[in-house]
Structure 1
Amino acid sequence: ARMLYEVRVAANKGLGLFAKLPIPRGTRILAEKPLVALRSGQRPSDILGYAKKLDEKSREQLLGLSWHPGSGIKRLGRWSEALGWAVRNRRTKAIDATMKAASSSAAYELALFPVIARINHSCLPNAQANYHPLHRTFNVHATRDIPAGEEVSINYLPEVGQLQGQRVAKLEEGYGFTCNCPACDLSTNAGKEGEQSRKETRDSMKETRADMPARERQEWLREREIEALNLMLDMYRREDIVGREVASIYYHLARLQSSGDAFDDALTNARVGLRLEEDCLGADHPEYLVAL
């Protein structure tokens, strides 16, 4: 199979991952096993032994990465000290990102994926990375069509509709960089419109939780929640944001619509959610197969 990507210099970001060929939506761009990892119950000091056993190429990969001691790293305790020693105290946002991403899996407590560590952040990403428990790999899938030459990006933060200031603060604290993606650049019309849309969605969600009339309360709340979820999905569509978080909104919307006997709308939204899950996970992922 032809390599779909290459690692090269990304302006103002160090290195990045770029599409060598056009990559269709839903394509598995890469599947990577960890270079070093800790499983549940292992001691943080064990990482030193793993680092020493790496072959020359793998050691070069490890030493080629650097280190950023953001808040996420601080929470990792002695693991950060051990891996920091292994990489000679260089600094990077990417080590933090790949270790924390893998920590959600059952197989690894913490792990480092050196190629995925080269993928830079965007609040408007074109890819998503998820752990595959059967293959024991971290897989990156295109969430939209990616033209040749475009940088592959993932969102280091969970997509929950946060405003620009919240996102920037978390990225600076946890990863040590300031995001300048189109969603965070409020000097442009697109950035301003996206921020306004997020504010309106946030305000709508607050109203949905706050206003609770006594009469027909359950039905009223269900309709208000459907309205708020549709507003949030409209916002994501305008910004071309997709991913598993967005899929979960479609599923929740489908459940609400089904409970109100809007079965056709519920089926349509459930299918959209399922398509997003397939794009992000792949048709062989157990969580996607369960959702079928």
Structure 2
Amino acid sequence: MEQKKVLLVDGMALLFRGYFATAVHGNYMYNKEGIPTNGVHGFTKHMLKAVESFTPTHVVCCWDLGSRTFRTELYPAYKGNRSAPEEQMVPQFAMAREITDGFGIPSIDAVNYEADDCLGTLACAYAEEAEVYILTGDQDMLQLANQKIQIAIMKKGQGNYQLYNEDTVKELKGCHPDQLIDIKALMGDTSDNYPGVKGIGEKTALKLIQEYQTIEGVLDNLAHLPAGQRRKIEAELEMLHLSRTLAAIRCDAPVSLPLEQAAWQADEKTAGDTLTRLGLNISIEQLMMGSR
């Protein structure tokens, strides 16, 4: 029996990567309707290259629905430092979903949750019967890595990935994957705009978790910490616990999809017609050559 292999795609990560690869040079690649296509052009190439690289039997793409989630309800400043998408980007969100539809790839999202939570929920569910690869550019996803779930972090250029499983995270990050959550709780995350414990940086956070294993272990041993560290943590206990909640990818989001409905069996004509209708100048024959 063929080993099932699932590729879970972080749709927003691919779309934004495709967009900024050319937008930084002012190249938006308009179609005949005058709609920019640079983001979806890059998105499509990244997605198909990953299918070629990982040869999955099943593919699913997960998406954010907007900026409001349970995390912004808990902490309104969460990701509040991020600017709104550029106007050239806006119409490409819907186009990207049309492309996944054209390739027969299910799109998954959930109100009040991020794409990360959808990816985490599906990864944990599918890992019971298949190898799982999560394609993303987000290092936060490393907390999900284990022997059945590998995280493929996109690097510069198409088809260039850093693969992480449980052992790789331990080797390169110095901790178990799920300890990354507690490290983020201590140090915060400037990208997602939550502070953690003020004055505790990445090196100190890693050292504390390596020594005491968990946030609870750190708190149980406050008396053994240097006075400065102890005061900082005691002054920020509420934010420490909140930051851990914000950092943790949920694996219980209200999403599900029977694995058989995600089988990779793209039809070249349907996919090609979709790309043509959207005005993308991409050769479907070339894209599909190594992606069956």
TM value normalised by structure 2: 0.29
Q: Quick check: which one's strand share is greater?
A: 1
TM value normalised by structure 1: 0.29
For CA contacts below 8 A with separation 6 or more, give which structure has more relative contact order: 2
